[in-house]
Structure formats: structure tokens, C-alpha cells
Structure 1
Amino acid sequence: MLLKELSALASPLNDQQIGQLQKTVADLSPQQLAWISGYFWGLSQTPAAAGATPQPLAAAVATAAKPAGKLTIIYASQTGNAKGVAKSLEAAAQADGIEVSLYSADDYKPRDLAKETHLVIVASTNGEGEPPDNAISLHEFLQSKKAPKLDKLQYAVLGLGDSSYEFFCQTGKDFDTFLSKLGAKAITPRIDCDVDYEGDAERWRSDVLGKVKETIGGGASEVVVPLHAATSVGTASAYSKQNPYTAELVANQKITGRDSGKDVRHIEIDLGESGLTYQPGDALGVYYTNSPALADEILAKAGLTGDETVEVAGESLTLRQALIEKFEITASNPQQVAAFAELSGSKKLQKLAEDKDKLRQYANNTQVADVLGEKKTKLTAEQLVGLLRKLTPRLYSIASSQEEVGEEVHLTVGLVEFKNGDNTRVGGASGFLAQRAEESGEVKVFIEHNDNFKLPADDDAPVIMVGPGTGIAPFRAFLQERDARGAEGKNWLFFGDRTFTQDFLYQVEWQKYLKDGVLTEIDLAFSRDQAEKVYVQDKLLAKGQAVWQWLQDGAYLYICGDATRMAKDVHEALITVIEQHGGKSREDAENYLNELRKAKRYQKDVY
């Protein structure tokens, strides 16, 4: 019933009270109205309600509507996972009747922290322990002299990361430390989530909201909101990470030469009538299944048949089926190696577990089957499953623009393949795309939007792209897009690989773009074509004066590829270029690049 209809119908309120009610609730949100509804209902059930002296209606509503504070959620997100968790938390808070505001870290004014009562930060970590691009300013502010005392603030932090990396969840740890030093009190201890984060994040969310409700309050009955609720980031499609689209794989072409030491595939996938849309810079999430032969090898090493029954997320499966469909059985991780060292009593692994750097290096270069092969150990099904992480989709930088390819999406996939003793090991997702998906012709996919790796809105802005190896993928999409849009801005590509004759990925396309004037300049670094190895960072240094001039002219700079070596080396080369040709100290050169990152003129897609 609408308020304006009350006066025309039988009502326990007189006209003056109706007027007060209409005036008082005019500016309230739906969540506040729901809270008030519950509050008034509660008042009506108290024994004293009938005989109590009536309070002016406006005063009663004002009292009921005034919370003890509000919840502010900030996400520091590079590829979208932290944003998804934050939006889910927002939806759950709204369902609980909590007043809540959600911000990307770069949209939040840091000085407003002094006004907050309850704060939640969901933070991923970028590169070597760096904050995501959208959180640089907030990260700097909290450790500066400008940061205010926050002794009235209650907060919680959730970190997202990958334990295979040295600086696991470092940004979340940083925010937790900064807030604590400023006097803020933790509502609940920080949680550091690994790649299969959903379960831990849901439990953390429930805990945080329970603590927040104790001090803020909430009138609506509790509603269960799945972690993936409200995570849409711009596509109208019904398909998402939680509901992937079964697409058709229409092309799988090797694009390295016959004598190349690498197997790189150009993959084309038909999105059909899925309604999935993407922009250059986005990623395609690919769900895959494991090799049955590899699952059988792991079962044999654990002394199991595979017929044992296990439960995964409430579903009962045979152990063999679970290994093929539900668990990561290719890449190992440091926690797994340390756990198996304890179970097996392997002295080699126990010694490795004592040195974090060596443990991480071993885990990053050894697959699960070979970890189990270090010492023959009889395991139970529960012990084996307890060692494994849940299978998570792989993200691949999209190598096409929809302006060019329509309902298709293209990928550039390097097949991970290496020898370990007599065994040939193949990557889980790359092996699936290069081999098994070809047989069925189907692959389950979703779009992962990346707002931190995007072409400039200004089509006249110059662009510098650095992408060796399969890091070339998004820049193929960039040039397709700029060509389709008729962008006038200059484009400069730095590409590198092993040899010109075997590893020049998409060579014909780059030559056509050069001829047509879409690609202004291209610099190539083939490391094994001469006695002294040459890499993309060497080409940047050699063209330092021109690179500096492009930056001065407003160029946007993009890097895609390996985070552990290439991205670091390119960053160092850029520092040198700015020092030598910009006449700056190292500190000023670092600050210059940092300012470019804040302005979204220096963007990385590294892995």
C-alpha cells in the first residue's frame, strides 16, 4: 500500500500522523525502510507498547532510522576477483539491513577514513607484492604522514593471492598493518585466501557481517547470498564464472615453426549466441579437465585404486573422477610439498620445507605426480584429497577484438611441456586446450573483465606495447581494435622470442599493420639469433630517447608477460631510460612511473 492511499482508506493513523510519516521517510533507502518496518513491529509486540506515552512519529522514525554507524567496503582488484567478493559482501550486507557503501580503491577519498565507523578491505596482490593499480594512492596514503588517527574505526581485511608466489597476499597484509598502526581495531583477524578462495571467503564474510551487525544493527531477517551474487561486471549475458558457457573450439593452430623449441597455439572459440561480450585487455576463463592418464599415475603412487568414494562440495564421486574433474593435479604448491614431506617422512622434502625460497622454487618446477614420487607412501583417499587444491579455471589474455572477429574469441596459448626423468609433463589447461579439447570440440568459458588493462579512451593517444612470447596476445587485440575504430594515435610494439624464423608469432599480421600505417613502429628482440642474447628490455634501452619522447607526448605504456623476470627487467630498463633521457634521479624516476600507473598510463598484465 502506498502512503498517499492511507488517508483514503481505513487507517489507525490520523491525517497529521500520515503527513509526518510521509515527510520523515521520503529520503530513506529501501534497506532503511525495511529496518524501520522490523523495528516498529518489534515495538508493537512489547508489553508496554499499549500503555506507553506515544512518541511523536517523526522522532520515533528518526530514532529507529539512526544506525550506530555504516559499513564501507573498498576493493583493491587487478583482474576482478576482489571486486566480485566485495560486491557479494555488499549484497549480503544489504540483505541484512546494514547501511553499506562500496568503492573501488581509486574512487575512495582516503581522508574520509577518519569519518568511517566500520571498514572492510578486500585486496588482491599485483606482481611482486605490489598493490593493484586501483589501490596505489590509498596504499601510499595509509603509510604517509597525512594518514589520520583511526582509533574509532573497526575494520576487517581479506587478502586474495596465490601461495606459489613469494609475496603471498602482501597487499592485504599491508592494509592490515597500516590500519592497525593508525589505531583501528580489527573486527576479525585477517584471512589470506589462496587461489581456491570461495569457501574461505564465504566463511569470512559471514563472520564479518555477524560482528558488524552486533554494533551497527540490521532489521531484516538473514538472507543467504551466495559468494557469486551481484558479481556482474558489465555483460548482459547469463553466463559467468559460476555458470560458464559451453563453447565450440573452432581452430587450434600451431603458430611456432617445426623446429621451434616451443609449441604455441592460436586458439579460436565460437561464443555462439551466448551474449558474452569483451573488450581488448579482458581475459577468457577456461574450465578444463585433467588427463585421465595422469590421474591414474597419481593413484598408483598413492597406493589407491580410484574406486574409493570422496565428497567434493556435497557431491559424492569416485576418487578417480574427482582427480580428473575437481582437483588441481598438475601444478604443485609450497603448502602441498610441506604437507607431503610430513606424511611421507621424505628427508629431501623435509629439508626443502625448512627453506621457503627453495621450497617455492621446487614447487613451481615440480608437478604433483613427481612430488608424490619422491618417496613411496601409502595414502588414504582423504589424505590424498587433503593435499590437493580445488581445480580453478585458467585465465588467458584475449588475443582478439570483437570489432574484428564478431562472436569469436581468440587466444595465444603456450603449451607447457617438459621432461622430468623419463616422464613428459604437460600443463593442465594448456594441455587440455592443445590436445583433449580438440577431440571433443567443446570448452567451458567465461569472460573475466580487467578494468586495469585497457586502451586509452582517447584514440589520438600514442601507445607503447611490450609483449614478448605469448605476452603478445592482448596487443593483437589492441591493434585490431584501434584499426577498427580508425584511431589516429601512434602504436609502437616491442616483441621478443627465441628465433626469427621459428618464433615470430603473428608475423604476417604485424607486417600488414606496418604497411597500412596502423603500427607505427616495431622493435624485435630474438634472443638466440646472435651470439649475445638480446631481449625486449635491451631494445627499450637502445631506443631510450624516442621512448622518453613518446612518454612526454602522453603515450600509454603496456607490459604483458612473465612477472618474475621479464616485467622486472622491463621496469628496470624504463627506470634507466627516464634517468638518462629525463635527467631524473632513480627516486624521481620511480615516482614518475608511479604517477603514470595512477593515471592508468602504465599498465601491466603479468603472470
Structure 2
Amino acid sequence: MSQFADISQFGALQSILHHTRKDDVAFLALAIFSGIIYTRFIQDKPDPYHHVWFEKPQAADSSGKAAETRDIGKKLEESKKDLVVFWGSQSGTAEGLAARLVRDFRSRFGLDVLAADLSDYDPETINNISEKKFAIFIISTYGEGDPSDNTSNFMSWLKTNKSVRFEKLRYAAFGLGNKKYKCYNKVIDVVVESLDHLGAAALMPVGKADDSNGATDEDFTEWKQSLFSLFHAQLGFEERPERYDPTLRVVQDTSLDKIDLHIGEPVRSGQSKKLAAGMSTIQALPIRTAEKLLSTTDRNCLHLELDTNEFPELKYKTGDHLAVWPSNPTSEIQRLVRVLGLEEVTETPLLIQSLDPSVQVKVPSPTTWEALLQYYLEICAPVPREVVLSLAQFAPSEAAKATLKRLGADKDVYHDYCSKTHLTLGRLLEIISPSQGSWSTIPLSFVLESLPTLSPRYYSISSSSVVSPKNISITVATSSEPSPTHGAPIPGLTTDYLLAIERKSKSATTSSGPSYDISGPGNSLEQGSKLFAHIRKSKFKLPILPKTPVIMIASGSGVAPFRGFLTERARVGHIGREVGQSHLFFGCRSPDDYLYRSELEALQQSNEEIKVVTAFSRTEQNRNGGRAYVQDKLEENDEKMIELLMEHNAYLYICGSAAMARDVAARLGNCMRARKGWSEAELREWSEVMRKTHRWQEDVWG
């Protein structure tokens, strides 16, 4: 019985083995066939996603990815960093300065430094930073004392924190602001005061930049030198001989096809989710109209109307901003290509990789030098003095090195030179050593690190979303007047770009300005008939109830959003709604500079609730015999305006230069004290309540 069982079991086993061999043979044949297919058709084909290996992970998402941990103390320990540079930035300037400080600490002291977005870490974890490490805060103030979006959570925590102390923290701080604004560098002052209150120890006095005279780079350079002196003399860090340590690797990869590359289409990278949520997608919008508003030559304004009918998802509200993405002028691109010796490789695919996980690549990858220099890098920006000094190590001759060192080392020499010429990187290199390819020894990573990224310029929308929901208009001031310091006009990158579009639309053949390739990457802008743009939400809004009175004060192109306001209120009144009084005070040089004159006069004539008061500074005098400005006109009508503000809850809007807005606030304050008998404290309380309840709104610039 057992023998038959053994034979039966052996037969079953034989059958299993027989079928297994069949399965193995089938599997082996399939594997060989797959290998042939892979080798013949797949292996030789370049992987279109090969570049992903070379990109920083957070670059894959336009809003960036959150940090691996929200505990900054843990992050510093895990990444073995010596200190952290926190940045709070709205426009990207503070973030750029933080990146420069990271590079300089590495090259000067050999320290490993983390640049950190303030919103990426929980504020209370600052207490977990070891007493052996340091923190540096570089934070901007924008508007009337407002924190940047990525700083707001940190500021809120500082106000409400009652339990966490920072007694181990050693820190330094630098603020970015503008003295033309009322609350100059308010955010950094609040941060420093709070840190000191929580027991942190300041290594040195707070540094402050003033952008009202373009001195941000110079102020930062001087503060940084003091910081480095402190690290060397007081903290005992040994300085290394000057050397360049790149943070980026630039690799040519000819295996990539053009379809894999970023060839110039706008890309928003590294934005916080909160900031990105307030912006629309970037689109190539058809241009309906591009025309000059005035008959003057030196000073003018462009009126552009853009068609959004093809983009039903693109919606705006009256008072929002439109961002225009420009490109660089042809002459500056050619200048850099020639001196850097890039003629043969401008279209060669490039992979750009960060060598430090804490340093984000600010330009798209893979790309080309052609795209970088035309669309992604700000090559027309002035060259900071410290960049001039750093260039000396790559100079093609001893004479060139000496010139750069003399120019970069002496603040007065540098400013005297810059007062006579608009110093871009290409112009500087060409002046010092003009021969073709003479600067080809500069590491291309240095070029990428030294040039800021090309960012969009924002303009107040001058149309009404109620009246023209699919037609967006903007008003762009242009000027060809000589600069008070340089003599010759300093070209505005975006204004000259838009002027080139306007000339093309009028088929103009001559031009005194720089030339642009307005066709866009891959002719995506159809020979200048479109431009890349997106919408940014604004808090500059009309009252919810139309019957609320409004007082609008503008100078120059600051009248743009009020054109939209008045057009909308006139339409609302036309359909039978109750609309309150609308008072516009508009200031410009002369009647020749009166923007939208016929439209504003027609609105005033057809609607008794609309009042327009003009101030022409070059042709009128105020009550004291001086030039008449818009603030003088407000002062002359102060009784009526105060009545509207105090008894009818009117909204107050100011749009134009920050200096004008500050003077308007001062004049209005004087009038309020005189008519109401208020003390300074009462006036301050009233103005703060007005701002907090959004009854006092400003859209101003430096």
C-alpha cells in the first residue's frame, strides 16, 4: 500500500515538475523577448524625465514643498548646520539676500548655513536651537508696516505667545524697508523687540536697509561686513583665504530634446501656498489695444487692454493687480553672450542642480542660456558692489583685477562711477575687458548666483470687472527724461518692453529705445500680439455698500484704479442702485498730463454724485503761492471731506507715490486736529481704526 502511494506521489511530483519546466521556459522566453524589445526600442531612446534626477524636489511644485520637519532645532541638528538664516520676503529681495549670506558664510568661514522660509517652521521650535548655534533674521516690511505673507504667522505667534522663552538663542537681524513709507522697517523692529523680551541675546544692533534711494544692497553689504567682523573678532571663527564655492552645478546635456526644456515660458517657483492662492494662472493674453494716452514725448502713459474671453477661469475684481512678465532687451543679451563666450552654446540644453539641499534653484531646469538670459534672469539690474569685488578673482588680466578691486572696495568710488553709468553685469564686463570671450573663465554657476531672477511687474487694473469682465486694462507710466544722476534716461525694463509692443501695433519703424524680441518663446506671443500676464488679488476694494461715500486721492498713473472705481459706481447708479458721493482728487504736472481727461469729465457731467478736483503742479499755485499739489486741494476741501469721513463713514483711498501718500496723511491729520480739537493720541487711534476696518486703503510705491 505504501509502495503504491510512493509511486503515486512520485508521478504527481513528476507532473508538477513537468508543468513547472513548461512555465519556466515560457517565462524565460517572455523575458528574452522583453529584453529584445527594451534594447531595440526603449533603451536607446533618451528618457524625457532624465532631468528630474537633477532637480531639487520642491522645484517640481510651483508652491514648493514644506520642510521635512517643522522643528528648526531638529532640522539644524539633522543637517549638521552651524546657523540658520530666516527670511521673510514678499517680492523675493530678502530671500535673495539670505541666499547670498549663506554663500558668503561658507566661502569666508567654511560654515554650513541653512536658509529657511519663516513659514516652514513652527515658531516655538526656535527654542530648540542649540546655544552653540546662531540665528539670523532678514525680514522685509511692505506697504504701511505690513509683514510679508510668509512672516505673518510668525508675527501672530509673537503677539500671542505667553509661555515659550528663547533664552538660549543668539541672533542678529536685518530689515528691509523704505523711508518714504510711514512705518519704515516696522516688522523687523517688532521682531527684535519681541525676541529680546523672550530672553534672546542680540549679537549686534539691528541693521536696516532703505530702498527709497536704492541703497538696499549697499546697506546690506555694510551690515554684513560688521556681522563678519563680529564672527571673527568676538566669536573666534577663523577666516579662510578668498575662494569661490559654488552652490549650483551647471551641466550641458545634449541628449535632451527641445520639448524637454523650459524655453522661456514664465514659471512661478518657491511661493507659499497662501501667496499662490491669491494669484491666477499665467496666460498669454491677447492685446486688444496698446496706445499712448498723451501727446507729450518725455513723459507719457500707455493704456493697454487685454482680452480674456479665451480664459473663462481668469476672473478679476475691480482694484486687483495685473502682473506683466517682460523679457530682456536684445542688446543686453548679446552683450553678455559675447563677453562670456557663449555664442556656440546658447541653445545647448542645460541641467542646473543645487549642490546644497537647503539652497533652491531659482530658475527652471532643464533650460538653455538663450532662455535664461532672455526670460529668466534679471540681466538689466544694477550690479551690487560686493559682486563687483567678487568678480576680481576671475579677471582676465591683472589690470582688470585691479580695476574691479578699486571699484568694489571703495564705496565712494563705486557710487561715483554708478552715478555716471547704469551698471549692468554685461556693461561692467564689457567696460573692464571688452574683447569677445574675455570673461569665459567666470564659472557659469557664479553668473546664475549673482543675477536675480526676472520677476513680473505689477500694475493696478484700471477697468471695472462689473463693466468689462472680459476686458482688463492697465495704465503704465513711461518716461524718457534724463536721470538726475546719470544724465541719460535709465530704461525701465517692462515699460520699454511694452513700448516695443505698442510700436509694433502701430507698425512704427523707428525707435529710440532698446529692441526686444516680442514674439515670445516659440512664438507663443505671436509677434507681440499677446503678453504673458496673471492676476493678483488686492485688498484695494470699493465698499460693499455702493451708497457709502468714497474719497480717492491720486497722483500720475495712480489714477488707474480710480478710473475703474468711478466707472463701476456710475454703472451701478445707472441701473437704479443708490450710490454715495465719489470725490476724486487728481494731481499731475499740467493739463497736458491729465490722464483719461475726457472720460473723467464725462462721468462728472453725467453723474452729480461724482466730483473731480485736479491739481496741476506746474501751472497752478496753492494758497501760499507755491506749487499746487493734490494734498493742497484736499486741504482746501477739508471741511467737506471730514464731514464725509466722520458723519457718513466714507472710505479713503490713496494711490500713487509713497511720499505723496505720507504727506496726504500728515495734512489730513492736521486738518482733523484743527477741526475736531483732537490730541495726537486721539488722531492716532482714529487712523488706526480706519485702517483696521479697511476704510483707509493705500496702493502706493516708492
TM value normalised by structure 2: 0.55
Aligned to 1:606: 700
486, 498, 511: which one aligns with 2:589: 498
Moved more, 440-449 or 341-350: 341-350
Mapped partners of 2:89, 2:370: distance in 1: 36
Q: What is the aligned-residue identity percentage?
A: 25
Is 2:317 the counterpart of 1:279? yes
Aligned to 1:427: 492
Q: Is the 8 A contact 1:337 1:363 kept in 2?
A: no
609, 629, 633: which one aligns with 1:539: 633
387, 408, 432: which one aligns with 1:376: 432
Distance 1:569 1:137, change over 3 A: farther
**What does residue range 482-493 of structure 1 map to in structure 2 within 5 Å?**
482-486=569-573, 487-493=578-584
Q: Is the 8 A contact 2:290 2:305 kept in 1?
A: yes
Mapped partners of 1:364, 1:552: distance in 2: 51
Mapped partners of 2:585, 2:148: distance in 1: 24
Is 2:563 the counterpart of 1:507? no
Mapped partners of 1:426, 1:161: distance in 2: 28
Distance 1:191 1:250, change over 3 A: farther
544, 553, 558: which one aligns with 2:653: 558
| Superposed displacement of residue 496, structure 1 | 0.9
Distance 1:229 1:432, change over 3 A: same
162, 173, 177: which one aligns with 2:192: 177
SS at match of 1:479: helix
Is 2:603 the counterpart of 1:526? no
327, 339, 343: which one aligns with 2:387: 339
Mapped partners of 1:170, 1:364: distance in 2: 30
Mapped partners of 1:281, 1:504: distance in 2: 21
274, 289, 308: which one aligns with 2:327: 289
Is 2:457 the counterpart of 1:394? yes
SS at match of 1:551: helix
Q: Is the 8 A contact 1:80 1:450 kept in 2?
A: no
SS at match of 2:410: helix
Distance 1:403 1:470, change over 3 A: same
- Counterpart amino acid of 2:449? G
Is 2:535 the counterpart of 1:440? no
SS at match of 1:465: strand
Mapped partners of 2:382, 2:488: distance in 1: 16
Distance 1:400 1:304, change over 3 A: same
Distance 1:254 1:465, change over 3 A: same
Is 2:667 the counterpart of 1:573? yes
Q: Is the 8 A contact 2:285 2:531 kept in 1?
A: yes
582, 588, 606: which one aligns with 1:516: 606
Unpaired runs of 5+ residues, structure 1, are 1-66, 69-74, 83-88, 94-99, 101-112, 195-225
Q: Is the 8 A contact 2:422 2:490 kept in 1?
A: no
| Superposed displacement of residue 271, structure 1 | 1.3
Aligned to 2:287: 249
Mapped partners of 1:588, 1:230: distance in 2: 39
Distance 1:122 1:601, change over 3 A: farther
Aligned-pair RMSD on alpha carbons?
5.3
- Counterpart amino acid of 1:510? L
- Counterpart amino acid of 2:465? Q
Aligned to 2:27: none
| Superposed displacement of residue 396, structure 1 | 0.8
Aligned to 1:326: 376
SS at match of 1:580: helix
Mapped partners of 1:567, 1:137: distance in 2: 28
Aligned to 1:24: none
- Counterpart amino acid of 1:548? I
| Superposed displacement of residue 498, structure 1 | 1.1
Deviations 1:344-391 (Å, cap 9, x if unpaired)? 526455433799xx79x9699945269727951554453444331100
Unpaired runs of 5+ residues, structure 2, are 1-69, 72-86, 95-116, 129-136, 212-268, 353-362, 392-402, 505-526
**What does residue range 193-208 of structure 1 map to in structure 2 within 5 Å?**
none
Distance 1:455 1:166, change over 3 A: closer
Which protein has the larger Cα radius of gyration, Structure 1 or Structure 2? 2
SS at match of 1:447: strand
Mapped partners of 1:305, 1:433: distance in 2: 28
Mapped partners of 2:374, 2:629: distance in 1: 39
Mapped partners of 1:365, 1:131: distance in 2: 34
| Superposed displacement of residue 148, structure 1 | 4.5
Distance 1:317 1:149, change over 3 A: closer
SS at match of 2:432: coil
Distance 1:307 1:165, change over 3 A: farther
**What does residue range 75-86 of structure 1 map to in structure 2 within 5 Å?**
none
Mapped partners of 2:370, 2:92: distance in 1: 32
Is 2:496 the counterpart of 1:458? no
Mapped partners of 1:386, 1:594: distance in 2: 42
SS at match of 2:449: helix
- Counterpart amino acid of 1:477? G
Q: Is the 8 A contact 1:463 1:557 kept in 2?
A: yes
552, 555, 580: which one aligns with 1:468: 555
- Counterpart amino acid of 1:476? R
| Superposed displacement of residue 135, structure 1 | 10
Aligned to 2:42: none
Q: Is the 8 A contact 1:330 1:427 kept in 2?
A: no
Q: Is the 8 A contact 1:78 1:450 kept in 2?
A: no
Mapped partners of 1:133, 1:562: distance in 2: 23
| Superposed displacement of residue 392, structure 1 | 0.7
| Superposed displacement of residue 122, structure 1 | 12
Mapped partners of 2:289, 2:457: distance in 1: 19
Q: Is the 8 A contact 1:342 1:350 kept in 2?
A: no
Q: Is the 8 A contact 2:586 2:630 kept in 1?
A: yes
| Superposed displacement of residue 326, structure 1 | 1.0
Deviations 1:406-440 (Å, cap 9, x if unpaired)? 21110001125454779654211112122147552
- Counterpart amino acid of 1:471? G
Distance 1:169 1:556, change over 3 A: closer
Mapped partners of 1:364, 1:484: distance in 2: 51
- Counterpart amino acid of 1:426? P
| Superposed displacement of residue 471, structure 1 | 0.5
TM value normalised by structure 1: 0.63
Q: Is the 8 A contact 2:88 2:118 kept in 1?
A: no
Q: Is the 8 A contact 1:267 1:410 kept in 2?
A: yes
